């Protein structure tokens, strides 16, 4: 016999999207239950993104959470290093808000501290066999299992925050969703290394392929190296990794240091639409994937849950279902605008360097786009607004 409970909202997934949504609901006095298939220590140590953009700093300020959740200032510059020559782009701003340093791991840890340890919210780790009932005319239900047996949560709304391979999107019947995929045709080797950060974040462009160096704390950097989709981790022993970093940054004096983690990331964009069905609403990687070049994946997950939290609050507190009904239409223009930016960044950073990818014409036009960031104030302004998430 399953253990039965009722709650207004069930959130599936305790990543950035699920935990932020739960925190916003809790601040608004709305009860929810969060279900996570991993244990707490796994969720707290997963590494990925590094910066919360200015739009989302402003969002956390609006929810009175910025200083409890986010880290300190981050460089407002990018070294677009071309053939070993540095050109430092200064991110201009039209208001006082700046992006803040906050690794994904730091944000998740702070969310868990505020949400679970301080506000006493109900986050259930290590659950298995999550299933969703979401049919017209019957109350939505989420079932799962844990060490105590089977549970059934009857609810009003379900938030699917369980990323690309979760159960939420998969529960939507065939024929409802359209999936739009763009593969860029190459991958990144993403390596977390123990090394002091450079003076500015580096986006390195050269015939040898793209290299990025992004800060992950005072003594840690994430390096990104363009590689083939066919590459295996075994193709990238430490010596090759450091040799390629030296070649692509033009920094021959850089010494090898410890590589803490490495993974291969194919560069692709994916958008699913609509991002709601019945009483199920998708947010974050469950709804879309961004290539990491523009640093927008985590930031769009935060945008989604800002919109979804406001819509759920209107529904639960004020009985106004209109914002929930409009959720997909509210979120989609922003998602496409940032897919456009991420694709601009990805094409520009790779085409400008590697002429074997799309030929000399694409290489020269990509370099012209990059030059415009330094020579055309209007181009610099729009690039800054995209980087800040304010476009």
- In the complex, least distance from residue 158 CB atom to ligand PHB, rounded to whole angstroms: 31
Applying CB under 6 A, among 13, 99, 291, 294 the residue interacting with ligand PHB is: 294
- Kindly state the smallest distance separating residue 49's Cβ from ligand FAD, in Å: 3
Cβ 343 to ligand PHB, closest distance in Å? 13
Q: Is 295 left (phi over 0), alpha (psi -120 to 50) or beta?
A: left
- DSSP structure class, residue 275: S
Residue 163 binds to ligand FAD (criterion: CB under 6 A): yes
Rule CB under 6 A: is residue 295 a binding residue for ligand PHB?
Answer: yes
50 binds ligand PHB (CB under 6 A): yes
Q: Which residue is nearest to ligand FAD (CB)?
A: 15
Judging by DSSP bridges, how do beta strands 280-282 and 276-277 pair with one another?
antiparallel
Beta strands in 238-316 (DSSP E): 259-273, 276-277, 280-282, 288-289
Q: Exposed (0-12), middle (13-18) or buried (19+): which is 286, by Cβ within 10 Å?
A: buried
Binding segment for ligand PHB (CB under 6 A), chosen from 107-115, 245-253, 289-297, 321-329, is: 289-297
Nearer to ligand PHB, 140 or 292 (CB): 292
Residue of 28, 88, 254, 265 interacting with ligand FAD (CB under 6 A)? 265
Q: Which of 34, 250, 25, 249 is nearest to 124 (CA)?
A: 34
162 versus 354: smaller Cβ distance to ligand FAD: 162
Half-sphere exposure (Cβ direction) of 65: Cα atoms closer than 13 Å = 26
Q: How many residues bind ligand FAD (CB under 6 A)?
A: 33
CB 201 → ligand PHB: shortest distance, Å?
Answer: 6
Contacts of 340 (CB under 8 A, 6+ apart): none
Provide the minimum distance between the beta carbon of 345 and ligand PHB in the complex, in angstroms, as a whole number.
Answer: 6
130 is a contact residue toward ligand FAD (CB under 6 A): yes
* String of DSSP letters for 117-151: IIT--EEE-S-EEEEEE--TTS--EEEEEETTEEE
Q: Which of 24, 151, 162, 303 binds ligand FAD (CB under 6 A)?
A: 162
């Amino acid at each position: 016999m399953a253990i039965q409970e009722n709650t207004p909202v069930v959130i599936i997934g305790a990543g950035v999207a699920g935990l932020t949504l739960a925190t916003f609901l809790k601040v608004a006095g709305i009860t929810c239950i969060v279900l996570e298939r991993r244990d707490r220590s796994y969720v707290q140590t997963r590494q990925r993104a590094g910066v919360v953009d200015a739009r989302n700093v402003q969002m956390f300020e609006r929810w009175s959470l910025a200083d409890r959740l986010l880290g300190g200032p981050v460089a407002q510059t990018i070294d677009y290093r071309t053939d070993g020559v540095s050109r430092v782009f200064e991110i201009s701003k039209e208001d006082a808000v700046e992006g803040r340093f906050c690794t994904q791991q730091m944000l998740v840890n702070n969310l868990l501290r505020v949400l679970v340890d301080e506000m006493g919210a109900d986050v259930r780790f290590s659950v298995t066999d999550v299933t969703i009932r979401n049919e017209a005319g019957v109350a939505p239900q989420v079932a799962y299992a844990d060490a105590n047996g089977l549970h059934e949560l009857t609810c009003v709304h379900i938030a699917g925050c369980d990323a690309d391979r979760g159960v939420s999107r998969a529960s939507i019947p065939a024929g409802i969703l359209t999936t739009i995929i763009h593969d860029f045709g190459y991958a990144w080797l993403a390596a977390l290394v123990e090394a002091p950060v450079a003076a500015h974040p580096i986006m390195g462009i050269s015939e040898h392929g793209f290299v990025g160096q992004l800060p992950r704390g005072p003594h840690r950097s994430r390096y990104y190296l363009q590689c083939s989709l066919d590459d295996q981790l075994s193709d990238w022993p430490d010596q090759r990794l450091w040799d390629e970093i030296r070649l692509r940054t033009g920094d021959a004096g850089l010494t090898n240091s410890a590589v803490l983690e490495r993974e291969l990331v194919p560069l692709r964009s994916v958008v699913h639409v609509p991002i709601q069905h019945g009483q199920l609403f998708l947010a974050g990687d469950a709804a879309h994937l961004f290539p990491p070049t523009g640093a927008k994946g985590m930031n769009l997950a935060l945008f989604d849950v800002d919109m979804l939290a406001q819509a759920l609050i209107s529904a639960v507190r004020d009985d106004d279902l209109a914002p929930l009904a409009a959720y997909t239409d509210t979120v989609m223009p922003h998602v496409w605008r940032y897919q456009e930016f991420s694709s601009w960044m990805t094409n520009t950073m790779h085409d400008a360097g590697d002429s074997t990818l799309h030929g000399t014409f694409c290489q020269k036009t990509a370099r012209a786009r990059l030059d415009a960031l330094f020579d055309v104030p209007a181009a610099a302004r729009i690039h800054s607004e995209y980087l800040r998430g304010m476009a």
